[in-house]
Structure 1
Amino acid sequence: MESGHCKLPKIMNDRLSMLPLDLIHKILSFTSIKSAIQTSSLSSRWRSIWTSMPYLNLSTHHVPRFSEFFNHVFAARNDQIDMYSVDLCFVPGTFSHALLKRVLEYVFSHNVQQLTVTCLFDEKIDLPLSQLFRSQSLRYLSLTGSDTGFLDAYSIVLASALELPALTTLHLDYVMFYEDNDAGPVSKCVNLKNLTLSHFMVLKSRSLTLCHPRISNLILENGHWTLDAVNVVAP
């Protein structure tokens, strides 16, 4: 080799593929699962990377036949890998209660720690809390509904108090719920520290009571006009 000259390799190394698997998973977590699956065509190295991701971003907006897509995702996914973070978004014309139940059952059975559910449509959903929201692992939960425009109703209804012992952060937006023995919807979330209620409605009551020994950060905004009083007992 001549002095002062360096011979370049014929095939440049794929620097992204050389990253640690957990870092690749983190990068892919910022994309939809559909985009993550498409990376499987890049090379043999990428063929199964998405199947072991602990992060899932599922939206019905860009997937016309979401039920079939969901079946494919969880049939191909490595069932031994727990979930860390799951982001679900449902838009009009793509939602069914049965599908939501199946998705939630799957993620809860895989010890999900962070869950975000957004339901943007004009019908009410009674979430089956007694069956689904009893996770021992969930630490962060965000539920976002929408204004149905019908009789001052929001799209998500919590039929009973949440029972999530590991939960530390809860965000409810455009959600309706009932009082639970004058203790509010979070009385059974014993480790809750951060609570945000935005665009919220209390059903069959004109007051809201939040009694909790550990809440240290509380945001209440845009409560429904039928609400006359809020009683807070917290540190």
Structure 2
Amino acid sequence: MAGKVGNGDGATASVRNPSHYFSNHRRKIKRARVSSEDLDSISSLPDEILQVILSFIPTKAAIRTSVLSRRWRHIWCNIPSLSFFQEGCTNARESIEKILSRYTARKMMSFELRFNWNYYYPYVYSWIEFSMNRNVENLSLTLCIEDIPDIFYINSSVKQLYVKSGYTILDPKCSVSWTSLKILSLHTCNIYDEPFAKILSGSPNLETLRLYFCDELCVLDLSKSPHLKTLEIESEHWLQGAKIVAPHIHSLRLRFTISDFPYTLVDVSSLTEAELDIDSVSTEKLNSSFLQTIVLKILEKVQNVEKLTLGGNFLKALSHADLHGFPFPKFKAKVLTLDTTISRCVISGIVRVLQNSPELKKLTLRTMDCDAIKEENLDSHLDLYCWNPYLCLEARTLEKMVVRLGPYRNTRGFKELLQMVPMLSHDNNVSIVLSATKSRIRETKWSNGHFIYYN
């Protein structure tokens, strides 16, 4: 018995076997669905776009895409970035050698290598050379080797260089030629004054220098690097008493540990922005000598910056300096950021900085967990001095105060913060923004001694 089935345009078609017709129809729909999936939006992109996308994921994951289809089989071979990490496997060398043998890109944007096994060093040399022959621009090396071959120091393409190693000695025997280098980051590297001077002279276009725990340097002379604008230093021993001469830098970030090796900021006359903090402190080490020769000397050198950021431990040191009666310099900062909890052990330092910032326009408080100094020790000092910071807090030029409530759990500290707000001058209007980690909570305005709330 024949059946009639619609053909899609309003007409009907006679079919001798309706079940056979619908079975064929379902197969066609399935083939169409598979065809649609094959032509997904990602696979339809040009190879160049897919290679850029794959460069944002680990190299091993990018290689796994080769099993998706013939379309993907060789795409990874030309990605602009490669990254290799030690994973404890014994065949790591063979795997990397195989990958590099199939790599076809002539230009490499970034190459990252993280290996802590020193017996790989002959191969590491060849892998570094491989990336440099591909004119790599961003080179990141975390290694466990004693030396680096001279070819490493001759490269006209690298723009960003990161080297981390507690064993590597940076001591070029040849002239350094990093003519395109703009960002140099050295982490726990063994480098001394003379080799470092050679590196600087071979990097004429250097703009950013980051030194993390490179404590063998005694003289940091950056006067012959006119393009260098940003300097960041984290040190356990203040570079063993280094003299820092950096007349061209605009931005300075210092984070250090109290030690017996005071250093000197000889020349930072072009600074417009500074960030200061102490990694960890104890009350016993905050003696008069340290406060005068380190903390307050730093403040004198950064007093003309427009943007100033102070960390919690640095503010605690300033509180002790204030309690000892040491004079503070006048600041020209228009923007002040404080990364700290609000507690009695930092209030004294905060207030003194505010009092000495007559041009301040914006104050930002970013609440942090920072309790390296035992607060009860400072509390006893505060009680002894019968000191009330709120009696003298006044900011006549302040226009905006931003409070970022991060991992804030100190109820007493928050009450201290609220007590600070009414002490702002009654003669000006201050916009106060309270914001959480992800979203703004409430904005208020302090106007003529009263709060005005905004939703």
Q: For residue 105 of structure 1, what is the aligned residue in structure 2?
A: 129
CA shift, 1:63, in A, is 4.8
The within-5 A match list for 1:185-224 is: 185-202=199-216, 206-211=218-223, 212-224=225-237
User: Does the CA contact (< 8 Å) of 1:85 and 1:114 recur in 2?
Assistant: yes
The within-5 A match list for 1:87-126 is: 87-92=112-117, 95-119=119-143, 125-126=146-147
Q: Distance in 2 between matches of 1:126 and 1:64?
A: 23
Matched position secondary structure for 1:186: helix
**Which protein has the larger Cα radius of gyration, Structure 1 or Structure 2?**
2
Q: For residue 86 of structure 1, what is the aligned residue in structure 2?
A: 111
Q: Distance in 1 between matches of 2:136 and 2:85?
A: 17
Q: Which amino acid aligns with 1:210?
A: L
The within-5 A match list for 1:32-111 is: 32-61=58-87, 63-78=89-104, 81-92=106-117, 95-111=119-135
Structure ranking higher in helix proportion: 2
CA shift, 1:64, in A, is 3.3
Structure 1 runs (4+) deviating above 6 angstroms are: none
Matched position secondary structure for 2:181: coil
Extract unaligned runs of 5+ from structure 2. 1-7, 11-28, 249-455
RMSD: 2.5
Q: Distance in 1 between matches of 2:226 and 2:239?
A: 27
| TM-score, with length taken from structure 1 | 0.81
The within-5 A match list for 1:126-141 is: 126-128=147-149, 130-141=150-161
Residue 224 and residue 134 in structure 1: after superposition, are their counterparts in 2 closer, same or farther (change >3 A)? farther
Matched position secondary structure for 1:30: coil
Q: Which amino acid aligns with 2:121?
A: H
Mean CA deviation greater in 214-223 or 24-33: 24-33
Q: For residue 33 of structure 2, what is the aligned residue in structure 1?
A: 10
Q: Which amino acid aligns with 1:169?
A: I
Q: For residue 246 of structure 2, what is the aligned residue in structure 1?
A: 233
| TM-score, with length taken from structure 2 | 0.44
Residue 182 and residue 29 in structure 1: after superposition, are their counterparts in 2 closer, same or farther (change >3 A)? closer
Q: Distance in 2 between matches of 1:33 and 1:108?
A: 18
Residue 100 and residue 181 in structure 1: after superposition, are their counterparts in 2 closer, same or farther (change >3 A)? closer
What is the CA deviation profile of residues 187-220 of structure 1, one whole-angstrom value per residue up to 9, with x for unaligned ones?
2100000111111132xx6433333221011111
Matched position secondary structure for 2:65: helix
User: Does the CA contact (< 8 Å) of 1:184 and 1:210 recur in 2?
Assistant: no
Q: Which has the higher contact order (CA 8 A, sep 6+)?
A: 1
Q: Distance in 2 between matches of 1:87 and 1:37?
A: 16
User: Does the CA contact (< 8 Å) of 2:113 and 2:141 recur in 1?
Assistant: yes
Matched position secondary structure for 2:190: strand
Q: Which amino acid aligns with 2:73?
A: R
Q: For residue 317 of structure 2, what is the aligned residue in structure 1?
A: none
The number of equivalent residue pairs is: 216
Extract unaligned runs of 5+ from structure 1. 146-153
Q: For residue 151 of structure 1, what is the aligned residue in structure 2?
A: none
